[in-house]
A and B are shown apart, each in its own frame.
Chain A
Amino acid sequence: MRLSIGLLVALILAAVIALPAVGKEDRAPSFTLEKMEGGRMSLKDILKDSKAVLLDFWDTTCTPCNELLPHVQRMHEAYGEKGLKVVIISEDTSLTIQDVKPSIKSHKYTFQVLLDPSHEVANQFGAKGYVPYIFVLDGTGRIALRHKGYRAGDEKDFEKSIRDLLGVKDEAKVDSAAGGEAAKGK
C-alpha cells in the first residue's frame, strides 16, 4: 500500500508539473476504424470540413445508449448542414457485432457508424467499459465536452455545446421520421 500511494503521488506530481505546461490537453486521440457499411474512416476524415463533432460510444445491448440515439439523429439532421458531424462508435464485440446494422437500419438512423470491437479506441479515449460515453469535439479535435452515461435531459447539454461550437443561437427544430418526435420533446 505504501508503494502504491507513493507511486500514485509521484505520477500525479509528474502530471501536474509537466503535462499542462507542455502538452495540449483534452485532444481526441487519432484513430482509424472500419465503417459499418465497409471501408475505413479516420479522425482526420471526420474532422475535415467540420466545425463540431459528436462522438458517441455505444453498443446494441445498452438501454440508455439506445434511448439517446433519437436525440442524436435529431441533432444530425438539424445541424449537419451547419458543420456538425455525428459519429457513433460501436463497442459491440465479436459476439454482438452482427446486430449493429440491423439495429441501426431498423430504427431508420442515418448517421455514420464505426466499429471498435476490440475497444482499442475506447481505451485511448478513457471510455473503455462505459457506454454510452459522449464526446463533443471542435473542428480541430479539442474535446469541448465529455459525458459518461445518459439519462433523459442530458441531450440538452450536448446540444448546447454543439450550438456554441457552431455559433448557432436557437435550438433547431426538425420534423422527420426518426428525429421528429424528439424535436417536439413530447
Chain B
Amino acid sequence: MLRFIRPTSLIAAALISAAVLILSSNAARAEGDFTYIGSEFFRYSSDRKSHVTKYEDETSLTFSYEKFSGFFRYSNYIYTPGLRKQPRLDKKSLSFQGKNYRVTAGTYSYLFGRGLTLSLMENKELGFDNELEGVKYEWAEKRTSAAVLYGVYKGGQKQWSKVTGLHVRQYLGDILSVGASFVGISEPQLTKWSRHQLVGVESSVRTSKWNIYSEYAKHNSPRPGIDGHGFYGNISYAVPGMSLAYSYKNYWQMQTKFNILPTLRDNPENEGVNGNDEKGYLAEARLSPFKDSSSFSLSYGQSNSHHGGFPYTEAMAVYHGDSSRRSFFNFTQTYWTSILGKRNRQNVEWTYRLDEDNTIVVTPQLTHVKDYGPGYNDYKVILEESWRGKISCVYTDERTLRHDLTQRWHLMEVKFKPAEKMECGLMFGSRRAAYVCSGGVCRLEPAFSGFQGYMQIFF
C-alpha cells in the first residue's frame, strides 16, 4: 500500500492538516465553533457482463465555522458497475450566511418553482448531474425572496455551458404567493455559441385544505420558428383521512439541460417525459378510512404528443397495510399501455416481525407483458431478513418466461453495521437490465453479474 502513496499526496495531506490546524486555532482564539460531519466510502466491484473490475472511493466533508459553511467531495465513485470515472474533487462549495442573505461559491443545486425554467440536481443512482459551478446569491426578507445565480456546466466538454438565472417570489397576503424567473443559457456548438432564454411566472395558493399551483414558461430558442412554451398546474384538496389531486401539463420545445419538467406519471418505470412535445394529466385520490395507518391510493393518467396518436395510459391502485402491526402487507396493482405495448403488474410485500430482533419481508411480483408478439410473464421474489437493524440479508430471484427466451437471475446482498459509525455490504450474483427512473430522470441500468463489496465510515 505504501508504494501507492506519492510524495505529492503526502504534501497535500500536510497542507490540509496545517490548514485545519490554523483554522481551528483561529477558531479557538475567536471562541467560535468549528463543526464538521463527514464520510469515507470504499467500493470494490467486479462485473462479468462489462468485464470491468474497479476500486472506488469517495470522501465527503461538510463543515461550518461561525457564518461560514462548506462542502467538499473527492470521488471516483460511479453507481453503474460497468463504468469508470476519474478521481477528482467533483463537489466543492463555500457559503457565507448573512442576516437575511446567503452567498455560495462553488457547485450548487437549485430549483425555480417546479422546474420549468431551472431545476439543478444530482442523482447518483441514475448518473444524472446538472449542478452548476459558480456563484449563487439568495435573499429573503419577510414576504419577499430572491435568488441570482451564475454558473458553468462542464459535462465533460472542453467548452462549458454558461447559465445565468434570476428568481423572485412575493407573498401577497397569507395564502397567495407569486413568482417570476429568468434563465439565460449559452451553449457551445461546433462553430458558434447557441444562446437561449426561458422566462416563467408562477402562482401558489395555500390554505389549510387547498393547494393550487400553476407555472407558465416561454422558451426563446436560438433556432428560428421553434420557440417553446410550457404549462404545469396542480390542484389538491387534503383533509385528515382523505386527499384528491389533479395535475395537468403541456410542454412544447421546452427541454433544456437545466430543467426537469414534471412528468405526471406515478408508475416508476415510466417516469420519463418528452419536454419538446407532450401534454397530459394525472388524477389521484388517497384514503385512510380506518383508525390505523393503513391507506389506499388510486391514480389514473394519460400523456400524448400534441398531434395525437397512441397515448401513454397508466392506472395504479395501492394498499398500504398498518405498519405498526406485527404482520402487515402492501399491495400494488399497476397497468400501463404505450406505443411499445402493455404491462399489467401485481406486487405484494408482506412484512412479519418474528420477535423483537428479527424481521422478515417477502415480496412476490408478477408482471404480465404484452409487446408486439405473444404475451408472457415475468416473476420476481425478494426475501429479506434483518436482525436489529444491524444485519440484513436480501435474496432476489427473478425470471422471465418469454416465448423465445427463458432466463433467470439470482442476487444476494448482505449489509451489516459492525460499529455505530460504520456500514459494510456485499453483493454477489446477477441482476437483469432494467429501466430505473427517479424524479423525471430515467436510465437503462445495464445487467450485472459479479461481486461488489463496500464500506462506509462516518466521522
Contact = CB atoms under 8 A, between A and B. Distances in A.
Contacts of B365: none
B12 to A, nearest CB: 5
Interface string B1-32: 10011101110110011001101110110000
B60 interface: yes
Interface string A147-161: 111011110110000
Interface in B273-323: 284, 286-288, 291-293, 295, 320, 322-323
Interface residues of B, number: 113
Interface string A32-65: 0000011010000000000000000000010100
Interface size class of A (residues with CB under 8 A): 35 or more
B114 interface: yes
B236 interface: yes
B87 A70 contact: no
Interface string A112-152: 00000111100111101100000000000001001111011
A93 B160 CA distance: 26
Contacts of B119: 93-94, 118
B6 A18 contact: no
A99 B245 contact: yes
Contact of A14 (B17, B97, B110): B17
A11 B260 contact: no
Contacts of B74: 7-8, 11
Residue of B37, B113, B295, B359 with most chain A CB atoms under a 10 A cut-off: B37
A147 B389 contact: yes
A71 B236 contact: no
Interface string B160-186: 000000000001001101000000000
B109 A61 contact: no
Contacts of B27: 22
Given A186-B325, A186-B326, A143 B37 contact: yes
Contact of A129 (B34, B40, B125, B140): B125
Given A105-B240, A117-B111, A186-B326, A23 B125 contact: no
B446 interface: no
B377 interface: no
Interface in B92-140: 97, 108-111, 113-115, 119-125, 140
Given A9-B5, A93-B121, A106-B240, A181 B440 contact: no
A8 B10 contact: no
A1 B260 CA distance: 35
Contacts of B286: 102-103, 106
Interface in A70-103: 70-71, 73-74, 93-99, 101-103
Contacts of B23: 22
B256 interface: no
A7 B25 CA distance: 25
Given A98-B234, A153-B359, A106 B287 contact: yes
Given A22-B24, A95-B440, A151-B361, A27 B35 contact: yes
A15 B38 contact: yes
B4 A11 contact: no
Contacts of B40: 12, 15
A95 B439 contact: yes
Contact of B389 (A12, A26, A157): A157
Contacts of B124: 128-129
Which 4 residue pairs of A and B lie closest in terms of their CB atoms, listed nearest first? A22-B24, A102-B243, A182-B324, A10-B13
Given A3-B87, A25-B459, 12 more contacts: A11-B59, A25-B35, A38-B177, A70-B323, A94-B119, A102-B284, A105-B238, A107-B288, A108-B288, A126-B38, A126-B62, A128-B124
Interface of B: 1, 4-6, 8-10, 12-13, 16-17, 20-21, 23-25, 27-28, 33-40, 55, 57, 59-64, 69, 71, 74, 76, 87, 97, 108-111, 113-115, 119-125, 140, 171, 174-175, 177, 206, 208, 211, 213, 234, 236, 238-245, 247, 260, 262-263, 268, 271, 284, 286-288, 291-293, 295, 320, 322-326, 330, 349, 351, 353, 356-359, 361, 384, 386, 388-389, 392, 421, 423, 439-440, 458-459
Interface of A: 1-15, 17-30, 37-38, 40, 61, 63, 66-71, 73-74, 93-99, 101-108, 117-120, 123-126, 128-129, 143, 146-149, 151-154, 156-157, 177-178, 180-186
27 contacts: A3-B6, A4-B55, A6-B4, A6-B5, A6-B6, A19-B459, A24-B33, A27-B37, A29-B69, A30-B69, A70-B293, A71-B323, A94-B111, A95-B115, A101-B243, A102-B284, A106-B239, A106-B287, A107-B288, A107-B293, A119-B121, A128-B124, A146-B421, A153-B358, A156-B356, A180-B292, A184-B324
